[in-house]
């Protein structure tokens, strides 16, 4: 992948990382570079994704801005940008649905790698699965990415930690694991039986429990566009909103307003 980048773009990415290192700001590399490391699948994208803790976001943008980059915060709940000419860095600190916020655990379990000849740390495969698992837009479904990470890394995944990451949204993980067995019938054994047994047990317990009175549509966590009708017209609650979720009404409005502008951008593919 490094060989196809223009020299100026490569230097911009290196400079951005060097500036953050000099400022003492921790960051992780994600996006296409982490995906290639975990799957062997190379993608040639126009941006460079770094993941930072929310507490460091302001310092990141200030550091890159002081070095001459144009910075902005198009989506204040998860994404900033630093641009230099035609090249830009996506500064990601959560996910478009507000679920996969970057926390200390991302850094504790990050993976050593080398990019552009310099040592870096990548986002963990568990967090990549966690964030990608919820991307089910009409124009973008990251289920194949999840399946490819599982195919390449099943034996190295910390399954206890991955299940814990999904929390109350374990059904989403279960759906991807069931699909993995369909996609790769000869490799379904690579998903630890205990994981699916635990999730199946949760499903059985849920089925045996009377339905709760809560009227919400969790579809908004999977797609920012396709379930708006449920919230706007049919009276379902939006679980993205606090206190159940991590977003404010204003943040969901900004996120929704960006649908027409963004389309299926690379950043949305990684963290929507």
Burial annotation 124-158 (CB, 10 A radius, 16+ → b, else e): bbbbbbbbbbbbbbeeeebbebbbbbbeebbeebe
Pairing of strands 47-51, 87-92: parallel
Quick check: 267 pLDDT over 90? no
Q: Report residue 161 as tokens.
A: 């930690």
Q: Out of 3.30.429.10, 3.40.50.300, 3.90.230.10, 3.30.460.40, select the CATH number for domain 2-124.
A: 3.30.460.40
Tell me what pLDDT residue 235 has.
94
Higher pLDDT, 156 or 264: 156
CA angle 55, 76, 252 (to 5 degrees): 130
Q: Mean of the pLDDT values across residues 129-133? A: 98
Higher pLDDT, 44 or 122: 122
- Residue pLDDT, tens place only, 152-164: 999 999 999 999 9
Confidence band, pLDDT 50/70/90 cuts, at residue 46: confident
Q: Report residue 135 as tokens.
A: 């991307």
- Residue pLDDT, tens place only, 232-259: 999 999 999 999 999 999 999 999 999 9
Cα–Cα distances in angstroms (integers) from residue 239 to residues 160, 163, 172, 249, in the given order: 25, 20, 15, 11
Q: Mean of the pLDDT values across residues 204-218? A: 87
Whether residue 59 has a cis bond before it, omega within 30° of 0: no
Quick check: 51 pLDDT over 80? yes
pLDDT above 70 covers what percent of the chain?
94
C-alpha to C-alpha distance for 162 and 157, rounded to whole angstroms:
8
CA angle 225, 92, 221 (to 5 degrees): 30
Q: Mean of the pLDDT values across residues 262-269? A: 45
Higher pLDDT, 3 or 68: 68
C-alpha to C-alpha distance for 171 and 239, rounded to whole angstroms:
15
Global pTM reads: 0.92
Unique residue bearing structure tokens 């910390």: 158
Average pLDDT, the chain: 92
pLDDT above 90 covers what percent of the chain?
86
Torsion angle, alpha carbons of 205, 208, 214, 220, to 10: 60
Torsion angle, alpha carbons of 164, 128, 188, 141, to 10: 110
In the chain, domain spans = 2-124
Q: Mean of the pLDDT values across residues 43-70? A: 93
Q: Mean of the pLDDT values across residues 80-85? A: 94
- Residue pLDDT, tens place only, 83-127: 998 899 999 999 999 999 999 999 999 999 999 999 999 999 999
Tell me what pLDDT residue 11 has.
94
Tell me what pLDDT residue 68 has.
94
Tell me what pLDDT residue 125 has.
98
Quick check: 262 pLDDT over 70? no
Q: Mean of the pLDDT values across residues 48-69? A: 97
Tell me what pLDDT residue 82 has.
96
Quick check: 271 pLDDT over 50? no
Tell me what pLDDT residue 47 has.
80
Quick check: 270 pLDDT over 60? no
């Amino acid at each position: 992948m490094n060989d196809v980048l223009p020299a100026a773009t490569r230097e911009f990415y290196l400079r951005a990382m060097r500036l953050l290192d000099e400022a003492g700001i921790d960051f992780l590399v994600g996006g296409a570079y982490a995906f290639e490391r975990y799957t062997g699948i190379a993608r040639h994208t126009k941006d460079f994704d770094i993941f930072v803790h929310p507490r460091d976001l302001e310092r990141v943008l200030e550091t890159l801005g002081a070095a001459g980059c144009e910075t902005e915060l198009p989506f204040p709940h998860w994404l900033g940008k630093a641009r230099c000419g035609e090249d830009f860095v996506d500064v990601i600190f959560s996910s478009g649905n507000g679920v996969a916020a970057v926390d200390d655990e991302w850094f504790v379990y990050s993976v050593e790698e080398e990019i552009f000849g310099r040592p870096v740390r990548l986002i963990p495969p568990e967090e990549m699965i966690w964030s990608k698992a919820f991307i089910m837009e009409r124009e973008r479904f990251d289920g194949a990415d999840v399946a490819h990470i599982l195919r390449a890394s099943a034996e190295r995944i910390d399954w206890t930690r991955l299940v814990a990451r999904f929390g109350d949204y374990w059904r989403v993980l279960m759906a991807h694991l069931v699909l993995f067995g369909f996609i790769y019938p000869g490799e379904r054994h690579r998903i630890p039986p205990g994981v699916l047994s635990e999730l199946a047990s949760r499903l059985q317990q849920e089925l045996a429990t009377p339905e709760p009175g809560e009227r919400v549509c969790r579809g908004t966590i999977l797609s920012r566009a396709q379930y708006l009708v449920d919230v706007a017209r049919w009276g379902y609650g939006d679980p993205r909103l606090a206190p159940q979720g991590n977003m404010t009404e204003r943040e969901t409005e900004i996120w929704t307003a960006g649908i027409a502008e963004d389309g299926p951008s690379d950043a949305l593919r990684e963290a929507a």
